Amino acid sequence: MADIELTTPGWTHTYSGKVRELYASTVLPPRVLMVATDRVSAFDHVLEPAIPGKGELLTRLSLWWFDQLEGMPNHLAPREEWSSIPPEVASRAMLVRELTMYPIECVVRGYLSGSGWVEYQESQSVCGVPLPAGLRDGDRLPEPIYTPAWKAPLGQHDENISYERTVELVGETVAAALRDLSLAIFGRASTIAEARGVILADTKFEFGVDDDGVVRLADEVLTSDSSRYWDAAAYASGNRIASFDKQIVRDWMKANWDGTGEPPALPADIVERTAARYRELIATLTGA
């Protein structure tokens, strides 16, 4: 896509995700530019039109969380290098160290919802993790559970795998580190979010390793694209669908698309309500 290349020299486009673009630096030491677009995806489709400001809002959220999670090595490049970020994408880009990424989506669930609820009804377990009987949709789990997935090549579905399978993929030491880091970060993020009236229901982390062997938290972190956020007050009063993430879009799609062919365009009010929800989440969490 012609408009993918940056006008600022020194960057080569390397990856297109559904809603993000990756570029490799041709001049700096091994650095990667992660650019978030305003595109929104649901049900494995990129939807039209884009959500104005989404890329910037989710980038600000990631950066805020990286700061909150001090002590956890991450992939952000040193701040003094950030002046090299192309101005054309600066508000929605992160300059990061190039890592060797682990092929594991480190999913942590603190609540039962989405595909987890469907699976629980059939097997009283989620991704092979047995759960107590009698849980209802949206219930908080007794303890957060780690339910990894194998990171399929872009465009394919990630595949839920057992912890034992992650050991086969990355070895016992790294598999244990990814699990323990994911659960620890989820615990800290949940506490920070709940102190601000927001429930972190579930999220997905990705990690990589640098040339010195340091395991670093990578990719986007705790954004409304990689996580489910709910309003704690609404949840407490029994409203289990007041979510801060893409639920507005998902619900509209479910009501207006039979899942075949190209999805319909989102109406203007859905676009605006979704943009407002993203702004509200960032304001509630970061205060900005």
Ligand X SMILES: Nc1ncnc(-c2cnn(Cc3cccc(F)c3)c2)c1Cl
Give me the residues that bind ligand X (CB under 6 A), please: 15, 17, 20-22, 32, 34, 75, 96-99, 101, 208, 218-219
Shortest separation between residue 100's beta carbon and ligand X, angstroms: 7
Shortest separation between residue 179's beta carbon and ligand X, angstroms: 20
- Concatenated DSSP letters for 4-44? GS-SSSSEEEEEE-SSEEEEEESSSSSEEEEEE-S-EEETT
Shortest separation between residue 120's beta carbon and ligand X, angstroms: 29
- CA 105, CA 204: separation in Å to the nearest integer? 6
Shortest separation between residue 88's beta carbon and ligand X, angstroms: 16
Beta-bridge mates of residue 208: 101, 216
| DSSP run (H or E) holding 181 | helix 172-194
What's the gap between Cα 222 and its chain centre? 5
State yes or no: cis peptide before 144, omega within 30 of 0: no
Angle, helices 247-256 vs 268-286, to 10°: value is: 160
- Concatenated DSSP letters for 114-158? THHHHHHHHHSEETTEE--TT--TTPEEEEEEE--EE-PSTTSPP
Shortest separation between residue 159's beta carbon and ligand X, angstroms: 17
- CA 6, CA 278: separation in Å to the nearest integer? 26
Would you say 97 or 179 has its CB closer to ligand X?
97
Shortest separation between residue 141's beta carbon and ligand X, angstroms: 27
